[in-house]
Structure 1
Amino acid sequence: MDVAVLIAAAAAAGWVDAVVGGGGLVLIPAMLIVFPGLAPATALGTNKLAAVCGTASAAVAYVRRLRIDVGRLVPVFVSALAFSALGAYTASRLPEAVFTPIVLGLLVVVGLFVALNPGFGSGLGVSRPRWSVILGLVLAGVVIAFYDGVMGPGTGTFLIITLTALVGTGFLESSAMAKVINTGTNLGALAVFAWQGNVMWLLGIGLAVANIAGAQIGARMAIGRGSAFVRWVLLAVVVVMVAKLGYDLVAD
């Protein structure tokens, strides 16, 4: 029964990650419930193993069906891998309590902005000046990647909003690009967690298979239903993340 719960959670996490990100909010709590004594670092590391497989498979599905400039994402992917690994390595020196209020505030601002601007990200994208595109890609590959290594919740959402606002892509295209970058952040963090011995490999491989299945379903639904679908799922995930982080902040 415990394995069945985790498999279902991994599949659900893969679906959420493929559409807007935030799958860790599903799988990590599930692991901590099934294994009450599990170290949080081990839960995070095992989640990264499942997530990197699911996110990579979703990225492939998006790239095959959408016109994405993969070439300009290569340096962002490499940067994301490196800075996520750096974030994971320094995570023990940067307490989560420092980040939670900041992330909570940013998520509230993002949620209100998207909710109050129905046209934002709904089209095929608009032209942005070169400096804006470069800034968006740097923020995605450095700042957000580092944050993913340190803490993680909301990484996919922050990537989509950053790419939509600064690079000028629509929600669907931003989600596709975010999957490529997020694969790099997950891989970088996983390397550090594995080096520290914080990955349950056998369980993680099983969860990865379920995560891939959920990710493929999520990617196909997003591609088939377009940016409007991504927008609503993004808003729903933001609400859940705000509630979760708000509860954690009050509980602490």
Structure 2
Amino acid sequence: MPDGVELGDWAVLLVAAGAAGWVDAVVGGGGLIILPTLFLVAPGIAPQTALGTNKLAALAGTATAAATFARKLKMRWKVLVPGAVIAAITSGFGAAAVSLIDRALFIPLIMVVLVAVALFVTLRPSIGMTAAKHPPTRRKTILVVALASGLIGLYDGLLGPGTGTFLIISFATLLGTEFVRAAGMAKVINCGSNLGALVYLGATGHILWALGLTMAVANIGGALVGSRMALAKGAGFVRIVLLVVVIGMVIRLGFQQFG
């Protein structure tokens, strides 16, 4: 544990990890719960160490959610697995480039994108509620998954919050995928992006293994509950949670940028 973190703080971090697992499993955005909590209980922690420890917990929860979705939904593994590999590669490059990028420049841009997402989902209530009447061709599906995996995987390595949300929106809008299925697809790709960043951050010594593994257990519990609720309650539930999380991310990033 980093200096200044007491054993009592572990309980706070475990609750945060469980909540993050639930949010991530449904619509993504769990990083906005874990990362601020890590900085709160361990103000002296290095940003890359916080990111690495978060990725360890997040990978466990994301893999659990992906497995839960896969048991109930038919997954296009021949498209999603290569997408996850692409996301892992670009996320690793993103994590390596963190120190070279002025992260403050990203925050206003991300806020604009998130506001646009919230408005789009609000004004187009049919998006993601049902599958498209005319499914996309295999070529289009491969292209969209590959591009989304590469670009959003790079973002995950650089910054991270909302990766799953951006993937779900991409699949729902560009492929006409229903929200629950889009969430399942996003979890597979997000496994790759989490793994890519984790490998780099671990190799460079930026992971608190004992804390990360403990948080991973709580993240798994939250992911199990979240993914099962998404499957049981359907697209309408996912849409509402998505809007709440997106608005929450805008507010959180706004305080980070201007507070």
Same fold, TM-score > 0.5, yes or no: yes
Residue in 2 that maps onto 1:114: 121
Q: How does 1:41-56 map to 2 (within 5 A)?
A: 41-56=48-63
Q: Which amino acid aligns with 2:171?
A: L
Q: Which amino acid aligns with 2:251?
A: A
Q: Is the CA contact (8 Å cut-off) linking 1:28 and 1:43 kept in structure 2? A: yes
What SS does the aligned partner of 1:37 have?
Answer: coil
Q: Is the CA contact (8 Å cut-off) linking 2:9 and 2:41 kept in structure 1? A: yes
Q: Quick check: 1:67 aligned with 2:74?
A: yes
Q: Is the CA contact (8 Å cut-off) linking 1:137 and 1:167 kept in structure 2? A: no
Displacement of 1:131: 5.2
Match of 2:239 among 231, 237, 245: 231
Which consecutive residues of structure 1, in runs of 5 or more, have no partner in the other structure? none
Displacement of 1:124: 3.0
Q: Quick check: 1:30 aligned with 2:37?
A: yes
What SS does the aligned partner of 2:229 have?
Answer: helix
Q: Is the CA contact (8 Å cut-off) linking 2:21 and 2:226 kept in structure 1? A: yes
Q: Which amino acid aligns with 2:237?
A: F
How many Å separate the matches in 2 of 1:131 and 1:65?
25
Paired residues, number:
251
Q: How does 1:118-133 map to 2 (within 5 A)?
A: 118-126=125-133, 127-130=135-138, 132-133=140-141
Residue in 2 that maps onto 1:163: 171
Residue in 2 that maps onto 1:192: 200
Which consecutive residues of structure 2, in runs of 5 or more, have no partner in the other structure? 1-7
What's the TM-score, normalizing by structure 2? 0.94
Q: How does 1:94-113 map to 2 (within 5 A)?
A: 94-113=101-120
How many Å separate the matches in 1 of 2:136 and 2:176?
6
Residue in 1 that maps onto 2:25: 18
What's the TM-score, normalizing by structure 1? 0.96
- Percent identity over the alignment is 51
Displacement of 1:37: 1.1
Residue in 2 that maps onto 1:210: 218
Q: Is the CA contact (8 Å cut-off) linking 2:83 and 2:189 kept in structure 1? A: yes
Q: Quick check: 1:182 aligned with 2:190?
A: yes
Q: Is the CA contact (8 Å cut-off) linking 1:132 and 1:166 kept in structure 2? A: no
